[in-house]
Amino acid sequence: MTLQEEIDKRRTFAIISHPDAGKTTLTEKLLLYGGSIREAGAVKSNKIDRSATSDFMEIERQRGISVATSVMSFEYGGKIINILDTPGHKDFAEDTYRTLTAVDSVILVVDSVKGVEEQTERLMEVCRMRDTPVIVFVNKLDREGRLPLDLMDELEEKLNIRVRPLTWPVNRGDRFKGVFNLVEQNLYLFRPGKSTVEEERVLIQGLDDPTLEAQVGSEDAQVLREDVELVEGAYGDFDHQAYLEGRVAPVFFGSALNNFGVRELLETFLSISPLPQGRETDQRRVEAEESDFSGFVFKIHANLDPRHRDRIAFLRVCSGVFERNTFVRHVRLGKNLRFSNPYSFMASRKNVVDQAFPGDVVGLYDRGDLKIGDTLTAGEQFMYQGIPSFSPEVFRELTNLDPMKSKQLEKGIRQLTEEGLAQLFIQDQGRRKIVGTVGSLQFDVIQYRLLNEYGASCRFDPLNFARACWITSEDPGALRAFMEFRGSQIALDRDENPVYFAESEWQLNYLRSDNPKIEFHLTSEFK
Ligand code: G4P
């Protein structure tokens, strides 16, 4: 097969949602179609329960699950589908944001009862940063949810994107009858409680099908005809190009739990979603079809076996062919590496892969060479862009409690922050360490892992900061003066870029207007 054919076969995407909207359930149903699992219940949620925060063994167990399920690959309809899993818990949102840099499109699950929730909006903002194409799946139609037209308005308003329904529900809750496929003009009737792939479905062809009334009742048939006319009139034709450019989001309705509306979603997804795309680097744009291999690391996970210090780096292949046992260039370190046991996440195949193609994710065993954001190439010197660090929102100062173990603590905190669990900022040439995260749960995890994996005990003391902003200026003198004047609130990030800690949103706005020559950035992606 040619490289182009391999690329054409692949689709790499993430399913995202506010916790509890049905991401895990939908993932499981998609895997059922791919035949990777035989029955429902095989995919474990990687949700971390609030109540389990103090139970560190639980965190460890959850971590184990999230390694196993963080990439799931399967074949369906002649395509290789790579689903990248993202943690739903908001304290791990940064991990989700980074994973979104490694996909070509997204399926966003929305609960029809709750509508657009807080985390949905934030995730959507991240998709919009790089115009990632989005398909919306409105889930839980078997519940008494909102009116579909109201939901459409809410999606457009809160997610700031145009929508285009491609299916339309017939009633909801107890009276949910099915979804009408607006493209194929047919209706599948809903039969609750089916969780296998081979469900029996009654099909009605077109709105003029004489059995429509008998199947859904004359009232629902009437409403459906009116709705369809309204939808076709109000939303116009589906613009595929606008979807690919992230300007319009097709919408599907269904019930993941009942495996309803999922097949329509999957099949339409395969026909409209983007192929593995090229990406920007600091030198030039690299296209997937280029023959030379390149890729980047978007996630690092500690090996669960505490006797081994090796970690697993998740590499997204962006161009060319990745080959096992062949030297590749580690651009940041300027050295050549080769991997003898790269593995794939194909449930039905043996794990070690000899080759991987654009769109694929391979797991690489790493002994400490790789960091999130690292680029591997066939030799050319360039770095992939757009693996941002986001402004943390919770800050604590790290204090070493065991002076005999300060080396272990240094090493541990460095490695854990390289995994992306938190961000490390230093002041006073490293004498003062400030750890920033998007949620407080990470501090428990860090403390636990420092002790168990590195033998280092530490304490975290809360700091009264609300935001960390990367600061730049076209005027080096102005930047220097600002840094000197605000010394106690300035630190350096892992790449020695200066960062300002703001105490509140209000203070940040005040500083912005008071220091017009200084630019304050809430992500590190400002180059
Ligand atoms: P998440 O990964 O987005 O957090 O959501 P998850 O799939 O775990 O689903 C959250 C809850 O919503 C689960 O119930 C799940 O069974 C339920 N759910 C998912 N899809 C549907 C649907 O189409 N209709 C209805 N009525 N419920 C749905 P749970 O009680 O929290 O967990 P479980 O004990 O059922 O696993």
Distance CA 196, CA 85 (A): 22
Where helices occur in 144-217 by DSSP H, the ranges are 148-159, 211-216
- Our answer on whether the CB atom of 143 is closer than 6 Å to any ligand 1 atom is yes
CB contact at 8 A, 460 and 448: no
Give the distance, in angstroms, between the CA of residue 163 and the centroid of all CA atoms in the same chain: 21
Closest residue (by CA) to atom 35 of ligand 1?
257
Look up residue 516 and give its two tokens: 């017009």
What residue's CA is closest to ligand 1, atom 34? 41
Ligand 1 in reach of 256 Cβ (< 6 A): yes
Contacts for 342 with CB less than 8 Å, ≥ 6 apart: 315, 322, 324, 352, 353, 356, 362, 363, 364
Does 47 sit in the ligand 1 pocket, CB within 6 Å?
Answer: yes
> What per-residue string of b and e applies to 345-366 under the rule 16 or more CB within 10 Å gives b?
bbbeeeeebebbbbbbbbbbbb
pLDDT reported for residue 270: 94
Cα(280)–Cα(286) distance, rounded to whole angstroms? 6
- Environment class of residue 303 by beta-carbon count within 10 Å: exposed (0-12), middle (13-18) or buried (19+)? middle
Cβ neighbours for 275, distance < 8 A, ≥ 6 positions apart: 7, 8, 10, 11, 104, 288, 359
> Please, which residues have CB within 8 angstroms of residue 399's CB and are 6 or more apart in sequence?
458, 459, 460, 461
- What pLDDT, on the 0 to 100 scale, is given for residue 307? 62
How many Å apart are CA 384 and CA 487, to the nearest integer? 32
> From the CB of 140, is ligand 1 less than 6 Å away?
yes
Q: Please state the three-class secondary structure of 30-77 as a single string.
A: HHHHHCCCCCCCCCCCCCCCHHHCCCHHHHHHHHHHHHHCCEEEEEEC
Q: Where are the alpha helices (DSSP H) in 69-173?
A: 93-99, 118-129, 148-159
Cα distance between residue 124 and residue 65, in whole Å: 26
Distance 147 CA to ligand 1 centre (A): 20
Q: How far is the CA of 257 from the centre of ligand 1 (A)?
A: 7
The residue whose C-alpha atom lies closest to atom 10 belonging to ligand 1 is 20
Cite the annotated binding site for GTP by residue number: 17-24, 85-89, 139-142
The CA dihedral of 300, 438, 64, 60, to the nearest 10 degrees, is 120
CB-CB contact of 5 with 97 (8 Å) = no
- In the numeric block, the tokens 């490289």 are attached to 3
Q: Which atom of ligand 1 is nearest to the CA of 109?
A: 3
Distance (Å, whole) CA 358 – CA 278: 9
Question: Apex CA 223: angle with CA 220 and CA 227, to 5°?
Answer: 135
Its pTM stands at 0.84
Complex ipTM > 0.95: yes
Q: Which residues pair with 252 in a beta bridge?
A: 137
Structure tokens at 29: 């149903």
Mean pLDDT, contiguous 10-residue spans, the chain (527 residues): 96 92 89 67 46 42 51 89 80 80 96 93 87 97 94 95 95 91 86 56 79 89 93 92 96 92 91 95 96 94 65 93 97 95 73 93 89 94 82 92 92 86 88 89 86 91 93 95 92 91 93 94 69
Torsion of CA 41, 42, 47, 53, to 10 degrees: 100
Task: Answer whether 255 contacts ligand 1 (Cβ < 6 A).
Answer: yes
Spatial CB neighbours of 417, under 8 Å, sequence gap ≥ 6: 423, 424, 435, 494
139 lines ligand 1 (CB under 6 A): yes
Please state at what angle helix 148-159 crosses helix 218-235, rounded to 10 degrees: 30
Q: Are 176 and 190 in contact (CB under 8 A)?
A: yes
Q: Is the dihedral of CA 147, 153, 159, 164 positive or negative?
A: positive
Distance 514 CA to ligand 1 centre (A): 49
The token pair at 383 is: 């770095």
